[in-house]
Amino acid sequence: MKAATAIGIGIALVSLIVGGIMKGTQPTQLINPAAFVIILPTTLGCTIAAMGMDRAKLIPTLYKKAISPEPMDLAGSVKQLTGFAERARKDGLLALEEEIESIEDDFTRKGMQLVVDGTDPELLAEVLEADTQAMHARHKQNANVFIKAGAFSPTIGVMGTVIGLVHVLGNLSAPETLGPSIATAFIATLYGIGAANIIFLPVGNRLANLSAEEVQYRTLLLEGILAIQAGDNPRVVQEKLLSYVPPADRGEVTGEDPKLRAVDGGAGEAQAA
């Protein structure tokens, strides 16, 4: 689901608040502007120190990407590459030059241009794999922005609590205020641990998963491009690429009902047994 990250964070926050209310904690007791100032800006500062300002500037964009990622149309790419294979089989590889301008995906367009230019297959694979590796490395650094923030935040929360306890211990002459003061001091720890486990780490892991999915998507594209260059039968190209597509989505390519295909496959296996 496209909005899974936002939904997950929302569920986590609501369940935390509702659970606190069930235990007798009022939501207003969890509001502490001082703890907020200690945790978030300090965590941001530490993250900038660790990852650099250029990465930190990407945080709003990365949040947007994690919460609303661009969908990868695996089935559409299989149909497109199969169409290219049919055109190449019929009219030759040079005929694909007319198709290049209409390709929206940069990676696919780059690969098909290399095919039309007559690039050696090994060199073509090397170029596209290097492009994918560089992309994956960038994405890993982007995800690390949130992973690092998730590592700093709990410790900074403890530091905020220590600051609060210093104030409490400096005012022992008023014992009637000790309970509320200690409770307020621990809000910083709650903010630090909560921010790490509900906001920073889930987003970092989401970005890492999206990167892995894009690497898999590019692997599909590379397989298709090399198969087209090799002159493989379009049907073979389609079947080869369908292995990368979830079974539920394969009907978009084949026109078959995936449930019927699953039933037929299961019957065949049972008969063979």
Q: Residue 246: left (phi > 0), alpha (psi -120 to 50), or beta? A: beta
Total residues found in the chain within this entry: 273
CB contact set of 257 (below 8 Å; sequence gap of 6+): 251
CA torsion through residues 112, 118, 123, 125, sign: positive
What is the pLDDT at residue 126? 96
Q: Which portions of the chain are predicted below pLDDT 70?
A: 1-2, 256-273
Query: What stretches of the chain show up as alpha helix (H) in DSSP?
Result: 4-22, 33-51, 53-57, 59-67, 74-91, 97-100, 106-116, 121-169, 178-185, 187-194, 201-230, 234-242, 251-254, 258-272
Q: How many other CB atoms sit within 10 Å of the CB of residue 96?
A: 20
pLDDT 10s digits, 187-230: 999 999 999 999 999 999 999 999 999 999 999 999 999 999 99
Instruction: Quote the DSSP letter at residue 195.
Output: I
Distance, C-alpha 103 to centroid of its chain: 24
CB contact set of 196 (below 8 Å; sequence gap of 6+): 149, 150, 151, 153, 154
The pair of three-digit structure tokens given for residue 76, joined into one six-digit string: 């559409």
Q: Give the separation between CA 1 and CA 13, rounded to whole angstroms.
A: 19
Q: Give the separation between CA 108 and CA 100, rounded to whole angstroms.
A: 9
What is the pLDDT at residue 253? 87
Q: Give the separation between CA 56 and CA 186, rounded to whole angstroms.
A: 28
CB contact set of 79 (below 8 Å; sequence gap of 6+): 252, 253
What is the pLDDT at residue 210? 95
Q: Give the separation between CA 53 and CA 56, rounded to whole angstroms.
A: 5
- Location of structure tokens 């290049």: 100
Distance, C-alpha 185 to centroid of its chain: 35
- Location of structure tokens 């994690």: 66
